[in-house]
Each structure stands twice: as structure tokens, then as C-alpha cells.
Amino acid sequence: MRWLKPAAVPLIAVGLALGIGAIVLAVSGANPIEAYGALIDGSLSSQKTIGRTLEKATPLIMGGLAVAFAFRAGLFNIGGQGQLVVGGIFAAAVGFGFEGLPWIIHAPLALLVGAVAGAAWGSIAGLLKATSGAHEVITTIMLNFVALNLTDWLASNSWKDEGILSRTPAVEESAVIPLWGSFPTGFLVAVAASFGCWYLLERTTLGFEIRSVGLNGDAARYAGISVQRIIVATMAISGLLAGAGGAIETQGVIGRYEPGFNAGLGFNGITIALLARNHPLGVIPAALLIGAMEAGGSMMQFNADVAPEITDIIEALMLLFVATPIVVRWFFSHQEIAEVSVTSGWGSS
């Protein structure tokens, strides 16, 4: 039972959120049992639906890691969406741009280029924060809009497919991250990334510096850590994770870049990071949960005639209960529960 203790807050939060979600469903005239039944049916009932859940969970793990990793340095990266689309389109460009490369080179190369493009995009916000103190919450959101316009432009000009749709050509066979039966291989990459983040944060000097800056920037500065450097490095790694998520989506799921892919990932990443309490390994179960809700959403609409946006409401509720541990504390009156804190005033660097 000891392992359950750190999971208590997220589990209760999920339970409360599903409960209130059921009330919302009932109030809006749907049958909650039928709706949740369809949700499970569409996400966990067969090999195929489980595969879809894993497929949906893959970019969510990457997006959740991006947010959780930045949180550890006290940075709030809402720019996962922008970093993801930039990573996605660059992976697509490598994917369709080279012909005749063997798979073992082509697929990892596209993934790497996508990840680096995401890192570059993420480090813009890091540089702005480190040099001028512009708060990353605003700059990353603004950069999301810039990234959407930029990728839109690329997909309708230089890297446009033939035909009228604004999208890139399909990536070459050799750049595809394949399905293994109904199991998406990209999921393994995401799981490996989670372990990699855990190792980096807990077992390396850089990870120690990142955590020091997150816990107390002034103390870190006095200890001789360059806070500016850590801010830029953290945002770059955070962007790298989101960019790799976009690359996996391009190479493993959609097969090309098209505008509007995986909208809303930025928000989901926040929910997942907080559900996981910023632990890189906790991101995996949290992303599986949200992934299952996304995979089952269409079944819910089909079988129970419920708009899939109900899952957004449930996610907001989860976030609410995770972010305010005091609510959950009513259940565990005598246990101390660590609080999450990211707020630092505008312009502090």
C-alpha cells in the first residue's frame, strides 16, 4: 500500500472529477453510466481500441513531460502546442525530403530533426526570459500563435503537397514509425523519454541544477549556478520533448503534417503534468488516462450521443482538484501533501 500514498491525491482528484462529470452529463440530459460505458468500450475493450489509447497517449506523454520538466525549474511552459507543430512539420520535411535512405537512419533522423526544431522553438521563450525577464507564460502562448501561422505558411508554400489542401506530402515509407500489430511503436519512444527525463533530473548534475533553480532561484545563484543558463537549457529540453511528440505524431500516426493537428495538447500537457505531480514516470499513467478518454470520446458520441468535449470539462475538474490539495485534504486530514508552486512574479529572472 505504500506506493499508493503519493498517488492518493491524483486518484481522489480523478474520482471526484469523474463524479462531477457524471452530474454534468445527467444535467445535460445524457445517461452517465451509458456515456462512461461507451468511453471504456471505445478505449479498453479490444486490442484495436487499446492500441488507439496508446497512440493517443504517446504525444500526451511527451507534452506532459515537456510541462513537468519545465515545472521542475519553476518554469511554466504553455507553449507545448507550438513546439509540437514545429517539431511535426520539420520531421515531415525530413520524412518526405529524402529518398532511398534505410529505415534505421531515416526514421531516427526525422525524429531527431523534429525534436531539435522543437528545442529551438522552446529556447526562444527561455532566451527571452533569461535576457529580459519576459514571463514565459505569455511568450510561449504568443509563440504558439506564431508557430501555427508559420507552419501553416510552410504547409501551403515551400513544403506543400500537390492538390488544393494545405499539407505536406506523405512521408516516405522509410521514415514511418510503424504499428506493430495494433501496438504503436512510438509509445516505446515516449516511455523511454520518461525514463530519460527521470534519469536526467535525479541522477545528473544538470538535473540537480534544474531542481535547485526550481526550488530557490536565489539560493541556486549564490551556490554558483547560472540561473540564466538553466532557464534556457530547461526550455530547450522542454521544447525538445514536445517537438519529438510532434515528430512521432507525424511519422507514426498521421503520416504527414497537416494544419490543426493535435490541437489542445498544450492544455492537456498541463493537466497530465499536475496529475503526475511533475514526476516523469507518473506522466505515463496520467497520459494513459487522458489518452483513454480521448480514444473513447468518439465512441461516446456515437453510442451515447454525448459531445466529446465533456472530457475537457472532466480534465479541468481533475486539474482543479490536483492543484488545490486542500480539497483532497478533507479526505486525508492528517497527512501532509506537497503543494505545487510555479508562480513567480512578472519579470523576475
Partner 1 sequence: MNALLIRSRWVILTVVVFVVITLFTAEFQQDQTTAVLASALRQSTPLVFGALCGVLCERSGVVNIGIEGQMLLSAFVGFMVASSTGSLLAGILAGMLTGALMGAGLAGLSVTLQGDQIIAGAVLNIAAFGISSYFFQQGLTLPSGKTPQVSFGPLADLPVVGRVFFINRPLTYLSLILIWVVWFVLFRTRWGLWTRSVGEVPSAAETVGISVARVRYTNLIAGGCLAGLGGAYLSLEAVGSFERMMTNGRGFVALAVMIFGRWNPIGIWGAALLFGYASAVQTQLQFRGWLADDPQFIGMIPYVVCIVVLAGFVGRARPPAAVGQPYSRE
Q: Which is nearer to partner 1, 3 or 346 (CB)?
A: 346
| Residue 158 binds to partner 1 (criterion: CB under 8 A) | no
Candidates 307, 331, 335, 338; binder of partner 1 (CB under 8 A) is 307
Binding map of partner 1 across residues 205-244, x = CB under 8 A, - = no contact: ----------------------------------------
CA nearest 87: which of 238, 210, 207? 238
As a whole number of angstroms, the distance between CA 28 and CA 317 comes to 17
- Describe the crossing of helices 186-203 and 47-72 by its angle, rounded to 10 degrees: 30
Candidates 1-9, 125-133, 182-190, 286-294: pick the segment binding partner 1 (CB under 8 A).
Answer: 125-133
Residue choice 45, 46, 47, 132 for contact with partner 1 (CB under 8 A): 132
In the complex with partner 1, the residue whose CB is nearer, 157 or 333, is 157
Among 215, 281, 309, 331, binds partner 1 (CB under 8 A): 309
**Does position 277 bind partner 1 by CB under 8 A?**
no
Indicate which single residue of 5, 145, 204, 302 sits in contact with partner 1 (rule: CB under 8 A): 145
> Do residues 88 and 242 make contact, with C-beta atoms less than 8 angstroms apart?
no
**The binder of partner 1 chosen from 18, 101, 109, 316 (CB under 8 A):** 316
Residues 211, 71: contact at Cβ < 8 Å? Answer: no
Q: Which stretch binds partner 1 (CB under 8 A): 45-53, 100-108, 134-142, 179-187?
A: 134-142
Which 1-30 residues touch partner 1, going by CB under 8 A? 24, 28
63 in Cβ contact with 269 (< 8 Å): yes
- Taking Cα atoms as reference points, which of 57, 278, 309, 289 lies closest to residue 183? 57
Q: Quick one: 205 or 343, whose CB is closer to partner 1? A: 343
Question: What span, in angstroms and rounded, lies between the C-alpha atoms of 6 and 294?
Answer: 25
Closer Cβ to partner 1, 145 or 180, answer by number: 145
Query: Is 183 strand, coil or helix?
Result: strand
251 is a site residue for partner 1 (CB under 8 A): no
CB closer to partner 1 out of 47 and 341: 341
Residue/partner pairs of 132-140 with CB below 8 Å, 24 or more apart: 132/349, 133/346, 133/347, 133/348, 133/349, 134/347, 135/346, 135/347, 136/70, 136/75, 136/76, 136/77, 136/78, 136/79, 136/235, 137/76, 137/78, 139/79, 140/77, 140/78, 140/79, 140/82
For residues 162 and 30, give the distance between their C-alpha atoms in angstroms, rounded to a whole number: 44
SS (H, E, C) 297-327: HHHHHHHHCCCCCHHHHHHHHHHHHHHCHHH
Find the shortest distance in angstroms from Cβ 163 to partner 1.
Answer: 17
Amino acid at 10: P
- Triad 183, 175, 290: Cα angle to 5°: 40
Task: Single out the residue of 49, 139, 250, 262 in contact with partner 1 (rule: CB under 8 A).
Answer: 139
How many residues sit in the footprint of partner 1 (CB under 8 A)? 55
> Any contact of residue 315 with partner 1 (CB under 8 A)?
yes
Choose the binding region for partner 1 from 12-20, 86-94, 226-234, 269-277 (rule: CB under 8 A): 269-277
Q: Is 347 in the site for partner 1 (CB under 8 A)?
A: yes
User: Applying CB under 8 A, which residues contact partner 1?
Assistant: 24, 28, 76, 78, 128, 131-135, 137-139, 141-146, 149-150, 152-153, 156-157, 264, 267, 270-271, 274, 307, 309-317, 319-320, 323-324, 326-327, 339-347
